[in-house]
Amino acid sequence: MDLWLKESQIEDAVMTYRVKQTLIREKTEYQDLAIVDTYSFGRMLVLDGIVQTTVRDEYVYHEMITHIPLFTHPNPKKVLVVGGGDGGAVKEILKHPTVEKVVLCEIDGEVVKQCKKYLPEISFALEDPKCEIFIGDGIKYVHEHRNSFDVVIVDSTDPFGAAEGLFGGSFYKEIYECLTKDGIFVAQTETPFYLPEVVRDVYKDAKAVFPITKLFMAGIPTYPSGFWSFTLGSKRYDPQKVNLSSTADINTKYYTKELHIASFVLPKFIEDLIR
């Protein structure tokens, strides 16, 4: 049997992966969850037909969504991840020696359970004593925790269905309140090649809330177009002006201190998009 996964995010430009085996497929309370083993990227988590993370390229996304805010903040102790049930962001966050506590707030407990079982090299840090897992609504959690986190990372699915409320000005205002007085927020914000209006609107919404708002980019082969944006909002520290010379040396495969700065330099069409 020649089994292929056809990714369903972009209608007329469809990425397909040859599949060795489907390890789990189920309807959860929130979404269609699958973990499949592929020839090109190894095991991958697929939610509602869209690839979320793979064992081969997860490092790009998880390093960039975490190390940029955590090295921009001089002393991050408490970190909140909204979404991110695969545990990849937590794995990277716990490489920072200043971090005392990470809360993972994931709406779908099945994602955590199945990633622990089938993606241990991504999810292992979820067992760390510094990590607290809260299964529930991120919007509610953020609302109920004022002035509580140095960094908030929104590691969500795309802005349709379950994650829709995690994009937009009203949630960013709640995040602002959830952050400490010099806190930093980051979210994954799609690709400007296919969804320019999402990139533009998220940037505009974040900019209305945070005094410093910037976009940065990374090359992620299993996300549509391969060229992905992240939006960062900061109360005090500018991620491009931070002094990185004395930050901790951590083991990475994508992030470097030089790339930290360079990833904020945008192609002209993206600059124009968010002007």
Give binding residues for S-methyl-5'-thioadenosine as ranges: 31, 106, 137-138
C-beta of 30 vs 193, nearer to its own copies: 193
Q: Which one of the spans 27-35, 118-126, 128-136, 223-231 is the region binding its own copies (CB under 8 A)?
A: 223-231
Least separation in angstroms between residue 233's CB and its own copies is 22
Smallest gap from residue 234 Cβ to its own copies (A)? 20
Binding marks (x or -) toward its own copies, 172..191, rule CB under 8 A? Answer: -------------------x
Indicate whether 226 belongs to the interface with its own copies (CB under 8 A).
Answer: yes
Q: Does 217 bind its own copies (CB under 8 A)?
A: yes
| Paired tokens of 207 | 């900019």
Nearest in space to 143 (alpha carbons), one of 180, 174, 164, 181: 174
Determine phi and psi for 132, rounding to 5 degrees. -110, 125
| CB 17 to its own copies: min, Å | 6
Q: Which residues contact 266 (CB under 8 A, 6 or more apart)?
A: 215, 217, 274
The DSSP line for 203-266 is: HHHHHTT-SEEEEEEEE-TTSGGGEEEEEEEESS--TTT---TTSPP---SS--HHHHHHTT--
Given the structure tokens 């979820």, which residue do they identify?
Answer: 126
Total interface residues for its own copies by CB under 8 A: 44
When asked if residue 158 is in the footprint of its own copies (CB under 8 A), the reply is no
Site for its own copies in 30-49 (CB under 8 A): 38-41
Per-residue mark of binding to its own copies, 79-118 (x: CB under 8 A): ----------------------------------------
How far is the C-alpha of 130 from the C-alpha of 97, rounded, in Å? 11
Cβ contacts of 28 within 8 Å, gap of 6 or more: 108, 110, 111
Would you tell me which residues interact with its own copies (CB under 8 A)?
A: 4, 6, 10-18, 38-41, 57, 60, 191, 193-194, 217, 219-221, 224-227, 252-256, 258-259, 261-263, 265-269, 271
